Amino acid sequence: MQKPVSTLIRLIPVFFLSCCLFSLQSVTYGESLGTITVEAGNYTRNDTPVSLDLSGVPEVFPGDDIRLVEVNGSRRLSVPVQFEAGSPPRLWWVLSGTTEPGTERKYELLKGDASAARGVSAVQDKKVLELQKDGTKVLSYNHAVVLPPAGQSELYNRSAFIHPLWSPSGSILTNIHPDDHYHHLGIWMPWTKTKFEGKAVDFWNLKAGQGTVRFNRFLSTTSGPVFGGFQAEHDHVALQTADGEKIVLKEVWDVRVYNIGGPGAGYWLWDIVSSQRCVADSPLLLEKYRYGGFGFRATADWKSETAAYLTSTGKTRKDGHATRARWCDAAGVSDGNWKGITFFSNPQNFRHPEAMRIWPGFEKEVFFNWAPVQTGDFEMKPGQDHLFRYRMYVHEGKVDVERTEQIWNDYAHPPKVEIATVASDGAIMLFGGADFSHWTAGEGKDIGWKLIGDTMKISPKSGSIMTKRDFADFKMHLEFKIPQTPPNVKGQGRGNSGVYIQRRYELQILDSYGQPPKYNECASLYKTRPPDKNVCRMPNRWQSYDIIFHAAKFDGSTKTDNARITVWHNGVLVHDDVALENKTGAGRPEGPEPGPILLQDHGNEVSFRNIWIVPL
């Protein structure tokens, strides 16, 4: 019987794999999965976080023991590594020390025993979630509502922001509810001058009572040897529509602190990615304005001669406002010493280099804002995603431009990471993007599905497809994308498909975003058992299933043991060694013989990619 994994792996999409450095003599390494090459390119690298897309590397699976070993001549050193399940799955580690321009470093990815090491931890209570590096606080995210100072309007009630952000030496660098702007909240990201359904909606200036932003739920929390973080979902709410309150935007913050730097080194490095989608029937118009978007309000200590700005173009407090830059450093004196934060805009961002709002007044406290709305209007249409990516370098002392440019190059021009995989005797790549060679529509039938790039898409009513080979016990990975359906499409018509194991047991695929877990929604064992948690993403975003299946056991025609299944949905454990007492829904009757994997055509254009299986 498969051992339950819920005591080992919590509801997080990242799994800890190896710990600190040690030599080959202290450990026995397992089977090689491939050789990884990291090329520095044209830039010097210093303790640089890197990652590898594992789409072409079957057998790397949630909960597996995987080890990364750096190979330098005859010397082999084990490197802390972190597996991020998802679509695609990724492997993370730190390119430690200094790597000179034009050089490369070699690693071997192996199966092998690994012990966990937690470098960055996510610590949550009923009000906040803290990210801590080796027990030292880095930042605090407020998921509970924080009330304004006594006597102020309840419209200032707010959640979904970061405060405090600490310096490596322990100084608080952010501020909330300052007397001049009660709506300023540490690090936060609302829009200001917008129009929705013909009416003005200001999500920034809360006292206007037009809009607000609220924490909805955590999608994941992560602790690990390479990074720790969280994914939090926010609702941007229009308060005065004709129908009352209405959610206009759904936003997900993906925040991660890397296990580099620290108090001894005098810096932190962390990222935030904001993914925003208009979920209303009408678009949201963002009108040209001087501020709105990612904002930072500094501690009240930073003002006058104890505060400074410097942008990548050499602008300062005097002339930086409404200019565009790759990065901006905001700094000041706290607890008797200079400290600062350098804000980096990713080159993939909309309207990069981005315009900035910088308070020019010498006597003013420090406020910084990436403000792409300064450049002109833009519209968020229903169903379309908008990504805003930023990196923060929190440092002791004044800005060091040479070091800042090195961090910029890491962010904008990351090292090139490639893997040469070792052919596996066990893994079968059922679909890698090339063809349908492992699939059939049935005897004498042609497959009517479409090949589009590295994906296959259902052509509705063309029929289901199944593997040519039958399987008994296995582990399997696949990725899928559900289409956006019109608002009037309800229930089982919302992007319906399914993974039929042995053509007997269906793992449901459906647009179940925001729904409670049910026995017929996404990741359910159809009409048999709901998932432990609904982690379904919005339509048109790639999702993943990782499955471990053990077939029912028979003595002749008599069943002696139930089939058992474990499923991770988007890296989150949703079925933990569940017994299947019978077939599900329209599945075929149970029996002793193995069966194929069937992908169901239920009339919707669901897409699939990166499907592999390992018989056990």
Q: Identify which of 237, 177, 523, 558 has the alpha carbon closest to the alpha carbon of residue 365.
A: 177
The correct CATH number of 14-116 out of 2.40.128, 1.10.287, 1.20.120, 2.60.40 is: 2.60.40
CATH placement of domain 428-615 = 2.60.120.560
pLDDT number for residue 3: 43
pLDDT of residue 17: 46
| pLDDT tens-place string over residues 480-524 | 999 998 888 888 889 999 999 999 999 999 999 989 999 999 999
C-alpha 216/C-alpha 198 separation (Å) is 26
Q: Report the chain's C-alpha Rg in angstroms.
A: 26
**What pLDDT is attached to residue 489?**
84
Cα(16)–Cα(24) distance, rounded to whole angstroms? 20
DSSP conformational letter for 146 = B
Cβ–Cβ under 8 Å, residues 366 and 180: no
- CA-to-CA distance for 480 and 487, rounded, in angstroms? 21
User: Which of 607, 568, 611 shows the shortest CA–CA distance to 86?
Assistant: 568
Provide the 10 A C-beta neighbour count for residue 424. Answer: 16
Q: Range(s) for CATH 2.60.40 in the chain?
A: 14-116
Kindly state the DSSP code that residue 590 receives in the 8-state scheme: P
What residue ranges of the chain are covered by domains with CATH 2.70.98? 120-401
d(CA 576, CA 152): 48
Prediction pTM value: 0.91
In which residue ranges of the chain is CATH 2.60.120.560 found?
Answer: 428-615
**Pairing, β 324-325 against β 227-241:** unpaired
Q: What angle do CA 164, 166, 170 make, to 5 degrees?
A: 130
d(CA 160, CA 170): 23
Q: Which residue is it, tokens 């419209």? A: 155
What pLDDT sits at residue 464? 98
Closest CA to 502 of 550, 544, 556, 462: 550
Q: Please identify, in words, the CATH class of the domain defined by 120-401.
A: mainly beta
Kindly give the parts of the chain with pLDDT less than 70.
Answer: 1-29, 114-118
Q: What is the pLDDT of residue 27?
A: 46
Tell me the residue type at 71. V
Give the DSSP letter of residue 472: S
First CA to last CA distance, the chain? 13
Is residue 454 within 8 Å of 433, Cβ to Cβ?
yes
Distance (Å, whole) CA 110 – CA 112:
6
